[in-house]
Amino acid sequence: MVREVDRAEIRRWRRRGFYSETVLVKLLEKNGYNAVRVPVSNPSLSPLPDVIARKDLHVYAFEVKNAKYYAYFPRRQVDKLFRFLDELVPIPSQYKHAILAAHLGKKWIFKQVDWKKWQKNKLPAKDRIIKRDRGNFKLKK
């Protein structure tokens, strides 16, 4: 039996994710990307990212988290980004990018995950972004 308080908390949690994904799409578009939020990406088993973007020949798959100080990305979610890019985007891998995006208050931190880690099955159990991190991916190039 799910209490009403639990339902309200779940709704709040999902709304935060929706908000961050929508803000990221606007931020990407402002920086010259074509971007779209994938509305069914939440906890499904399908290999779909939260946000898909394209700029020139490059395609980006984003997993988005909204947090205060740190964001965790389980291996399953990172794997979904690579599966999406590998199975559904028919271009060479040098043009495909799996990006972890942490929305920490007003600050965004982006971390690109290396293809070689995924190909060698070396993804960590959890990837983490902390508010003091710098990230390794910048929207502006």
pLDDT, tens digit, 9 for 90 and up, residues 40-87: 745 666 788 999 999 999 999 999 999 899 899 999 999 999 999 999
pTM for the full predicted model: 0.85
Name the residue with higher pLDDT: 44 or 106.
106
Q: Per DSSP, what are the bridge partners of residue 97?
A: 60
| Domains observed in the chain | 4-130 (3.40.1350.10)
Q: Which of 41, 44, 46, 93 is catalytic?
A: 41
Q: Is the pLDDT of residue 5 over 90?
A: no
Cβ–Cβ under 8 Å, residues 49 and 62? yes
Instruction: Tell me whether residue 41 is one of the annotated catalytic residues.
Output: yes
